Structure 1
């Protein structure tokens, strides 16, 4: 593993960790500040996530692309593998591992800051076809937005656009838009407003994978030649390509 990949994996681990810290930490704060108003809690949580995700993409995008999401990394690999762009096989596995570890550490950090039990596991059930459909929709839209921007050379808009999409999807999807397996795993380790119980996690991740595939099919249909732009997701970056 060369130094460039080390830097990219570090960026993905820290970036995903901080994303989960933003989601979980703002969820805990919202629950404490507005204990009797779930709608206000969701507003506070979604606004913090929108702003935090925007900043994280700006910070880590030039290093790793700021995927911060195994579905996005897998889509990048699928699109670019024939065109020789995007991640190679071992990189996408490494990205996903770094993102997942980061998600767990991000939840632990939020729990420590708010003096919540570090070893607690979420008990909030998130099951049923409507919620899973919400995850399919949320993830499909996320993937479509990211690669449409890359294909049309509007990567400079990725940070606010992706942040705005996730912030909006908190409200227009029944699942409140997890749309990210690493974030889903991280949120399993916080028994708070933002948590998800372990039994609900496999269904959510399966829905996210389906949504990612549908989003990819949509963007390939709407934007022919999108494979050439795989290396520009989420933010244009030019890492040294190491031997696969």
Structure 2
């Protein structure tokens, strides 16, 4: 019975939906996390009686066809790149992006990744690095015994060095944006890589040319809305149960049909 296979695709789709929702909830406190949503499409139809076909030699047209659906398929888990809430932390190297853009990180193999996680620190040479020790681009090194670290809204980094009262500008933290942010490939550790779908990275400066600004001593929280996720979880669970009911009903119908021939 075709309903068995159709309902099975529905159960598989809702199982994936629950997985996506659970990942969103698990990352509700992950800095810079962007939530995902499962997107579905119906499968190909078996056109038993095509709508619009000629019904007779007199040219009458069939007004309503008979189309048997094959179920559902998952077509993607698009990431919602909306702005998360900014939360004050007090950390001098905690930076939140308010608006468009990603921080650019250089990996150990020389390639670049991108992140909205502005939790930075310094390594043993004074370079500003992320939590995995990879340097922020362009590379900025804080002098030893410096104080008064300030990062402006435009990303300009300045400190006061020992024996001086005048702030010294060390460099400017850049930002990178993409035509299609949802086309970025997540690789874990709050990092993304560019893909043909995202478009080429466009480097720029904060607070100019459509880029967002930087907020020192703040971090961007995940854009996960807990109430919405719980509501979606309940809906996915109910949809899974309904598909399971269909399989149970189809099985009972098959048993009844089989019993007629005994």
Q: TM-score normalised to the size of structure 2?
A: 0.22
Q: Which has the higher contact order (CA 8 A, sep 6+)?
A: 1
Which has the larger strand fraction?
2
Q: TM-score normalised to the size of structure 1?
A: 0.23
Which has the larger helix fraction?
1
